[in-house]
Amino acid sequence: MTFILGLTGSIGMGKSTITNLFRKHGVPVYDADQTVHNLYRGRLAPLIEVAFPGSTQDGVVDRAKLSAHVVGHPEKLKVLEAIVHPAVQEEQDLFIQKHRHTPLIVLDIPLLFENGKDQHCKAVAVVTTDAATQKKRVMMREGMTEEKMESFLSRQMPDLEKRKRAQFIIDTSLDIPDVERQVLSILDELSAR
C-alpha cells in the first residue's frame, strides 16, 4: 500500500527545493501549485475568464490580472476557489491512482492543513525557515508586494501551528547538504515502517 506523505509550508519556506530533493531520490511528487498553473493554461482558463472578465490573455490566465480581481476581496476569492479546488482535487486523485503501486508519494499542498487535506495523508512534513529568510524569498518573486504577501499569509495557518501538527519538520534555513540530509532521514524512517 502506498504511503502518502503530505508536504506543506507557508509561502517562501522552500517547498520547491524540498520537492526537488524528494524527486531526486525517486519519490513521485504531486505539486498542487504546478497543477494550478497547468489548469490556468488549460481547461480552467475559459471558466475563470467568465467569472473574472479580463483575467486571461491568449486563452491563458494572467495571474497578475486575476490577483487584481481577488486580492482584498474574500468573496471573489471564494468564487475562484469554487472553480479551482474541484479541478485540483481531480488531478490529485488521478496522481494517487497512477502511483498506487509506489511505496511512497508526496503531496505538496500549500494549504494542506487549512483545507483538511492532511486527513488523507499518513504523515505530514512541514517546510520551515526563519521569518526574515521567508520574507526575503517572497519579496524576490516577480510582482510581489507587501500587500500580496500579507494576503497569502492571512490565508495560511501560522508556521508555528503547522510545525506543532507535523510528524516531520524540514528546516530550509540550513545549507542544501544539510537540508538534503533531513529529507534522507525522513526517507529512511519511512522505509523502516
Q: Which pLDDT does position 144 carry in this prediction? A: 83
Q: Are residues 20 and 39 in the same domain?
A: no
Q: Are residues 111 and 192 in the same domain?
A: yes
Q: Are residues 38 and 11 in the same domain?
A: no
| Degrees to nearest 5, angle at CA 45 with 43 and 48 | 120
What stretches of 28-121 adopt beta strand conformation (E)? 29-31, 56-57, 60-61, 104-108
Give DSSP secondary structure letters for 160-185.
Answer: HHHHHH-SEEEETTS-HHHHHHHHHH
Q: Which pLDDT does position 149 carry in this prediction? A: 83
Q: Are residues 173 and 192 in the same domain?
A: yes
pLDDT in tens, 6-30: 999 988 899 999 999 999 999 999 9
Q: Which pLDDT does position 140 carry in this prediction? A: 85
Q: Which of these three, 98, 123, 142, is where a domain ends? A: 98
Domain count, the chain: 2
What pTM was estimated for this model as a whole? 0.88
Please report which confidence band the pLDDT of residue 118 belongs to, taking 50, 70 and 90 as the band edges: very high
Q: Are residues 24 and 36 in the same domain?
A: no
Q: Which pLDDT does position 141 carry in this prediction? A: 85
Q: Are residues 94 and 123 in the same domain?
A: no
Where in the sequence is the domain holding 38, given as residue range(s)? Answer: 32-98
Query: Does the CA dihedral 18-20-23-29 come out positive or negative?
Result: positive
β-sheet with 104-108: strand ranges across: 29-31, 104-108, 3-8, 123-128, 168-171
Rounded Cα distance between 42 and 88, Å, is 12
Rounded Cα distance between 32 and 150, Å, is 21
Q: Which pLDDT does position 69 carry in this prediction? A: 93
pLDDT in tens, 119-158: 989 999 999 999 899 889 888 888 888 888 887 777 788 9
Q: Which pLDDT does position 135 carry in this prediction? A: 87
Paired strand residues for 170 = 127
Q: Which pLDDT does position 75 carry in this prediction? A: 94
Q: Are residues 123 and 170 in the same domain?
A: yes
pLDDT in tens, 39-87: 999 999 999 999 999 999 999 999 989 988 998 888 999 999 999 999 9
**Taking 80 as the threshold, does the pLDDT of residue 3 lie above it?**
yes
